[in-house]
Amino acid sequence: MAEPVNIHINEGDTFFAHEVTINFTPTQFTFDFKNITPRTDPRSKGRVSFLLKHNVVMTDPWHTKQIVNVLSSVVKRYEEEFGVIKKPKAIEIAEKKQKTMVQKGEKTETPTYLG
């Protein structure tokens, strides 16, 4: 009779990614998922700081291709059920405002991590 096997699962923390950077080498892809949160501290005299957390996932090229296939399939099913995914209007407005201010050489209060 086979011996029972104990499996211990280390659940990761829930993580909302605002941004992802993807790089590759000949043998792996690296996904760097980032969460950027503005922080205000009364002691910093009104200056806003940002807390950046990130989780890195590395996969080999074959598994990366499988992730692309699964993600495409899931997004297709999502859009069939809920409609086409569009960029939120608020992000379009923020991007337009930021672009205009940069063209004018003005300082922008809009975070530069958009898009």
Higher pLDDT, 42 or 7: 7
Residue 63 lies in domain = 19-103
Is residue 89 situated within a structural domain?
yes
Q: Give a yes or no: residue 1 inside a domain.
A: no
Which pLDDT belongs to residue 108?
63
DSSP 27: S
State pLDDT tens for residues 26-42: 999 999 999 988 877 77
With a cut of 90, say whether residue 72 has pLDDT above it: yes
Is 60's pLDDT higher than 50? yes
- Rg for the chain (alpha carbons), in Å? 20
Residue 37 belongs to a domain: yes
For the segment 39-57, what is each residue's pLDDT rounded down to a tens digit? 777 776 767 788 888 899 9
Percent of the chain with pLDDT over 90: 46
d(CA 87, CA 109): 21
Give the count of domains, the chain.
1
